[in-house]
Amino acid sequence: MADDFNASKPIYMQLADRINRQILRKELAVGQKLPSVREMAIQSGVNPNTVQRTYSELERMGSVESKRGQGTFVTENQSVLNELRQNLKKEQISSFFADMKEMGFSAEEMISGLKEFISTEERGEQRD
Amino acid sequence: MIEFKNVTKKYRNHLALDDFTLSLPKGKIIGVVGENGSGKSTTLKLISGLIRPSKGSVTIEGEDITRKVSSAKVSYLSELDVYYSFYTVGETIGYYASLYRDFNRSKAEEILDYMKLDRSKKVKDLSKGNRGRLKIAVNLSREVPVILMDEPFSGLDPMVRDSIVKGLLSFVDFQTQTIIITTHEIKEIEPILDLVILIKDGKVLQMEEVEEIRIHQNLSIVEWMKKEYE
């Protein structure tokens, strides 16, 4: 549990990322209630104040909404979720791009490399 | 809620704490770390009222800590095994329930279930891990503002450590209780701490919010501790 998190990065952000991904994968459905702060703290083995901070951060990002006295829920606002999805995509691509550029790869090499990788991956998945 | 003001603690010729000043807030999980002999256990013993400062003052909620004050406000898990080994698990709980008025019997029963402890087993026949779990059950069942844990993980395997951490998260009342843990097993408690206090040679070297260390310095507590110790 403890080693699920990178110990030198803020845990509240790591937990927020994790929940956002669960929302995008629809493991947490639109409108679904998130575990209470205490439950989430126990499940993920982190400090309850950290979970509280994660929930506030998610609320600020718009992916969840807190309803007074009822708890925290995945937003039903589809456009916020679409935006979140696009943002995460952009984030990943930009860090991939920066890394590849640093190693001296050209744009063409990146695109062809990606295409090749994806087609191998997909063939592998079909075989499973 | 707990204040150390210019505390010095001497044992014969050994200076355990040296002009030690510290203010601990309420409702947090606080880790006290530092190398062997740095003063961690002395700090906890002062809070528990087991020892008195040679100089300076230690107060809790404004009151000087004596044995009497501490027994009403502090639950202390000693490094040493203090249980009567001929008692069963159930009798141990009964014993502590009779000893402390603030002992929440039903909470203790809940924790025993959670930790899957057999009430009819004698303490002397328990594995080391289950003795560790029983200690936690007793310690967390007291409804007091401060719970002290001195090296709760030492010598215990990862499964037991995990159940202790989860037990803590499940059964502590964070609105009213403060947990103070000394440990060398920092990795184990890193994700559950609010604050970390680093002690060196009987002095407070640093006190920081652990998330702030990760946000501003991109360091784990162990890395931070090494950096600060240099």
A95 residue type, one letter: S
Whether residue A54 is found in the same domain as residue A85: no
| Of A65, A58, A57, A53, the residue nearest A22 (C-alpha) | A58
Q: Do A10 and B170 touch (CB under 8 A)?
A: no
Whether residue A83 is found in the same domain as residue A72: no
Whether residue A71 is found in the same domain as residue A96: no
Closest CA of chain B from A15, distance in Å:
11
Give me the residues of chain A with pLDDT under 50, please.
1-3
Whether residue A45 is found in the same domain as residue A93: no
CATH assignment at residue A7? 1.10.10.10
| Model pLDDT, residue B198 | 94
Burial B122-149 (b: 16+ CB within 10 A, else e): ebeebeebbbbbbbbbbbbbbebbbbbb
User: Three-state SS across B92-114?
Assistant: HHHHHHHHCCCECHHHHHHHHHH
Establish if B215 touches chain A: CB-CB under 8 angstroms. yes
- How many domains does chain A contain in total? 2
CATH assignment at residue B133? 3.40.50.300
| Model pLDDT, residue B221 | 92
Contact A12, A19 (CB under 8 A): no
Whether residue A21 is found in the same domain as residue A83: no
Domain that residue A52 falls in: 2-76
Length of chain B: 230
Whether residue A7 is found in the same domain as residue A70: yes
Whether residue A64 is found in the same domain as residue A91: no
CA distances (Å), origin B37, targets A17, B34, B180, B200? 40, 8, 18, 9
Residue from A9, A36, A49 to probe the interface with B (highest B Cβ count within 10 Å)? A49
B72 residue type, one letter: A
Q: Do B214 and A8 touch (CB under 8 A)?
A: yes
User: What is the phi/psi pair of residue B201, to 5°?
Assistant: 45, 45
Token pair, residue B129, equals: 């891990």
Q: Which residues of B touch A53 (CB under 8 A)?
A: 211
pLDDT, tens digit (0-9, with 9 covering 90-100), for A26-43: 999 999 999 999 999 999
Residues 20-39 of B with CB under 8 A from A: 28-29
Strands (E), chain B: 2-11, 14-24, 29-33, 55-60, 63-64, 74-77, 146-150, 178-182, 195-200, 203-209
- How many domains does chain B contain in total? 1
Query: In sequence order, what are the residues at sequence separation of 6 or more whose Cβ sits closer than 8 angstroms to the Cβ of residue B224?
Result: B196, B208, B213, B217
Q: Which residues of A touch B170 (CB under 8 A)?
A: 38, 42
Whether residue A10 is found in the same domain as residue A71: yes
| Model pLDDT, residue B184 | 86
| Model pLDDT, residue A3 | 47
Rounded Cα distance between B74 and B171, Å, is 16
What is the percent of chain A with per-residue pLDDT over 70, rounded to a whole number?
95
Q: Which of B166, B169, B218 sits opposite A9 (nearest CB)?
A: B218
Whether residue A45 is found in the same domain as residue A98: no
Domain that residue B220 falls in: 2-229
| Long-range CB contacts (within 8 A, 24+) of A76-79 | A76/A30, A76/A31, A78/A30
Rounded Cα distance between A41 and A26, Å, is 21
A47 residue type, one letter: N
Establish if B204 touches chain A: CB-CB under 8 angstroms. no
Q: Do B169 and A45 touch (CB under 8 A)?
A: yes
Q: What average pLDDT values come out for chain B (230 residues) when binned by 10 residues?
A: 94 91 93 91 92 94 91 80 81 92 95 94 91 91 94 87 91 92 88 94 92 92 90
Establish if B147 touches chain A: CB-CB under 8 angstroms. no
